[in-house]
């Protein structure tokens, strides 16, 4: 009886802790203000006292979620980062994502590790291509989405047309919870449709601290703002009457999206977003394993690795595996099993991240993101579990590359460092590393979704591994999966194609273009080729 009671208590503790977690990602097109919003959320939660730099703003510090030197130099996010902080009675796990389209594969993996998402739109541009792609991933995974229309402090489109676009282009019903008073570029505040009245914002120096808010009644707002207030109320009423009335069930079912308006760089509207995430966003729930069976939140510990990163600590150049806790209680020092290899993994060095800053974590619960340090044996997609029976979560997606280049060391005397660096970048998923019978292991082929991945790879090889490389572009643009590895000689026999082996054992048949692919099919009708789209 005592053992059963103890187990029940532990399960109850896990369920309570999981219910306090909110784990989400921010998705957007590049330059929509994602890293700025991340800073603003941390600022309003009072875990930082001053917002970091928006690239090009003199006198402001670097954003905490952008720690890589290339990110600081260019002012864009090119790697995912995890931030954990407390707000009210909740624990927030915010997983920042790369803003550049060339790193969409990293973002897709992050979306497997969260329970909800914030879709950030630029008020002047609305839905952009990268945002559309990422939203489709959220739709595919039934991830609830809150929409934050940003940059209302600058000239842009009117609010109704932006909301219409959500319906017309992605079939998502907007449910506004705030509505802007003042046209874009002349932002005065918002109509609070949930609580009533007017929330007026006041600027702070450089937007570096939380913006003070002044709450006015409807009567006071009409007297103060006149026609601007009246128009905002009428527009909001028009949308809610045409099907945009708020219903939490529609949000959780991912068929409608709450909409908020703000200006992250000025910290306007950010508190509304943070409060909404705490009160409305779902906590961790049962997660399907590789067989489709939901694993209960209070089952023994399990989690999966969605990101591997080296070089976060330049003094030690250690490797950190980011893992999402899916079930049970994680305790530092516990020995877990890697479902991919069947081998034990000791969790002696485990940390929680706040951008680049780290603190040792002793206990973590479902929804938390933990950093497993010196995790050289872990790879993206690995499942970790404790106790029996074994569990394995579905594999993470691998995308068909669109760019190829042969990598060679500039200094042949640093061949050992070259090999180590190539292995590490491949393990992290920075680029895909391919080898072929034609070139051999000494001349690996780097494959990337976007060309900036090559820049990151070259920069890190030189800066972190002290093995500068030369990248010689290859002319391939058409990719297929080769079903039968024995047929790679048929691909290699042509002058405009090549068979390349990926580290996961998959052979890719790459061709100069569709014409070269068609020629290979005509010459070898027996060739078995499949689509090389991502393995989602």
Known binding-site residue numbers: 96-100
For 500, the token pair is 């390349």
DSSP string, 495-517: TTEEEEEETTS-EEEEESSHHHH
The C-alpha atoms of residue 39 and residue 366 are separated, in whole angstroms, by 24
- Tell how strand 256-261 and strand 173-176 pair up: parallel
Separation in Å, CA 464 to CA 53, 193, 344? 25, 51, 29
Neighbours of 90 (CB within 10 A): 19
The C-alpha atoms of residue 13 and residue 204 are separated, in whole angstroms, by 42
The C-alpha atoms of residue 396 and residue 112 are separated, in whole angstroms, by 8
Residues in binding site for GTP: 96-100
8 Å CB contact between 274 and 256 = no
- Nearest CA to 157 among 119, 126, 117, 181? 126
Q: For 88-162, where are the E strands, in sequence order?
A: 90-96, 116-122, 145-150
The structure tokens 């206990």 sit at 363
For 173, the token pair is 């019903």
Our measurement of the distance from residue 109's CA atom to the centroid of its chain's CA atoms, rounded to an integer in Å, reads 7
């Amino acid at each position: 009886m005592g053992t059963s009671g103890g187990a029940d208590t532990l399960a109850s503790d896990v369920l309570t802790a999981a219910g306090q977690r909110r784990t989400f990602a921010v998705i957007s097109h590049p330059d929509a203000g994602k890293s700025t919003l991340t800073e603003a959320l941390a600022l309003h939660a009072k875990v930082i006292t001053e917002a970091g730099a928006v690239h090009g703003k003199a006198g402001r510090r670097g954003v905490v979620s952008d720690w890589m030197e290339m990110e600081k130099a260019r002012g864009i996010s090119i790697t995912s980062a995890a931030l954990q902080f407390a707000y009210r009675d909740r624990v927030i796990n915010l997983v920042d994502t790369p803003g550049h389209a060339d790193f969409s594969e990293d973002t897709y993996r992050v979306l497997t590790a969260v329970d909800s998402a914030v879709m950030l739109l630029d008020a002047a541009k609305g839905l952009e291509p990268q945002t559309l792609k990422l939203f489709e991933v959220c739709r595919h995974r039934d991830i609830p989405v809150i929409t934050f229309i940003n940059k209302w402090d600058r000239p842009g489109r009117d609010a109704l047309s932006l909301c219409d676009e959500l319906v017309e282009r992605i079939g998502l019903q907007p449910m506004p919870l705030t509505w802007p008073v003042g046209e874009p570029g002349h932002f005065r505040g918002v109509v609070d449709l949930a609580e009533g009245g007017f929330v007026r914002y006041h600027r702070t120096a450089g937007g570096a601290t939380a913006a003070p808010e002044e709450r006015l009644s409807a009567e006071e707002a009409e007297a103060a703002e006149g026609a601007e207030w009246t128009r905002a109320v009428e527009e909001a009423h028009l949308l809610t009457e045409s099907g945009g009335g708020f219903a939490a069930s529609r949000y959780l079912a991912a068929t409608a999206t709450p909409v908020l308006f703000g200006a992250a760089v000025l910290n306007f509207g950010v508190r509304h977003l943070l409060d909404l995430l705490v009160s409305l966003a779902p906590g961790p729930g049962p997660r399907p394993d590789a067989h489709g069976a939901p694993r209960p939140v209070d089952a023994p510990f399990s989690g999966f690795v969605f990101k591997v990163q080296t070089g976060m600590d330049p003094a030690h150049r250690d490797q950190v595996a980011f893992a999402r806790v899916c079930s049970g209680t994680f305790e530092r020092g516990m020995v877990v099993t890697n479902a991919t290899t069947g081998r034990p993994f000791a969790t002696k060095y485990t940390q929680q991240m706040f951008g680049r800053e780290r603190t040792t974590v002793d206990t973590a619960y479902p929804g938390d993101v933990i950093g497993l340090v010196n995790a050289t044996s872990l790879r993206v997609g690995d499942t970790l579990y404790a106790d029996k029976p074994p569990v394995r979560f579905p594999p993470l997606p691998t995308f068909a590359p669109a760019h190829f280049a042969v990598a060679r060391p500039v200094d042949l005397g640093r061949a050992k460092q070259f090999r180590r660096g190539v292995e590490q970048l491949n393990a992290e998923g920075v680029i895909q590393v391919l080898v072929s019978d034609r070139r051999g292991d000494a001349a690996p082929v780097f494959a990337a979704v976007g060309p900036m991945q090559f820049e990151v790879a070259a920069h890190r090889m030189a800066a972190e591994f002290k093995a500068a490389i030369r990248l010689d572009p290859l002319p391939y643009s058409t990719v297929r999966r080769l079903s039968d590895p024995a047929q790679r000689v048929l691909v290699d026999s042509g002058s405009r194609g090549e068979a390349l082996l990926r580290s996961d054992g998959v052979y890719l048949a790459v061709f100069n273009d569709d014409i070269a692919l068609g020629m290979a099919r005509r010459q070898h009708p027996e060739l078995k080729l499949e689509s090389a789209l991502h393995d989602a």
